[in-house]
Amino acid sequence: MKDSQRFIAIINTAIRYCKWLIVILVALICCSGIRVVNNHEVAVVLRFGRLVGDTREEQVKEPGLLLAFPYVIDEVIKVPVGKVHEVSITTHAASADPTYAEIEDTGYVITGDENIIHIDATLKYQISDPVEYALYNSDPETEINGVVSGVMTSCAASKSVDGLLTDQKAEFGNEVIRRPRPSWTGWRWG
């Protein structure tokens, strides 16, 4: 009889501790929805994978305290819109093309007068559309490097090597800037 009472006491104690553990876990899950959006960021909330809000004003959450549902329901994506990002552009050859395997990641392009020139650039950009950036962008540096490298190669193919090294340098930069770019960027030549 004494052993059975001791067993019941142990079970009751375990149940009491499990209740507290469940209460603490529920409180932690509820608090996981409280987020802080820093000054240089905005946030986009996905509820079960779908964007929350009907208009851009409702979809983009400004800096400050953000109350969302717990992590299992809402995913909060912070987008650094106030920061100027820099990407070094040096890759001008497609990595899938074995012809260019030895010059991949070097920055060499062929000019319009069939000379080879080395072009390096640094692109500075700010994110202008946080919703598109959060939803449709997995690797911004790779995407930007690919787009700008293609544009630079295309623009260099219409110029002479002497012009690119001297008086057409600014025109080359302006031509690269005027070409289409990803819609979430507001880049400038730097």
What local confidence, expressed as pLDDT, does residue 121 receive? 80
Low-confidence ranges of the chain (pLDDT < 70): 1, 91-107, 180-190
State the pLDDT at residue 190. 42
The whole-angstrom distance between residue 74's C-alpha and the CA centroid of its chain comes to 19
- pLDDT of amino acid 73: 87
Strand partners, 61: 43
What per-residue confidence (pLDDT) applies to 189? 44
- Assign domain 85-189 one CATH number from 3.30.830.10, 3.40.50.10470, 3.30.479.30, 3.55.10.10: 3.30.479.30
Sort 51 into a burial class: Cβ within 10 Å, 0-12 / 13-18 / 19+. Answer: middle
Would the pTM of this model clear 0.85, i.e. be above it?
A: no
Give the C-alpha separation, 96 to 91, whole Å. 13
pLDDT digits (tens, 9 = 90+) for 39-70: 999 999 999 989 888 888 888 989 998 888 88
- Classify strands 116-118 and 64-67 as parallel, antiparallel or unpaired: unpaired
Report the distance separating Cα 47 and Cα 69, nearest Å: 8
Per-residue confidence (pLDDT) for residue 31, from 0 to 100: 78
Domain boundaries, the chain: 2-79, 85-189
Instruction: Say if residue 1 is exposed, middle or buried (CB neighbours under 10 Å; 0-12, 13-18, 19+).
Output: exposed
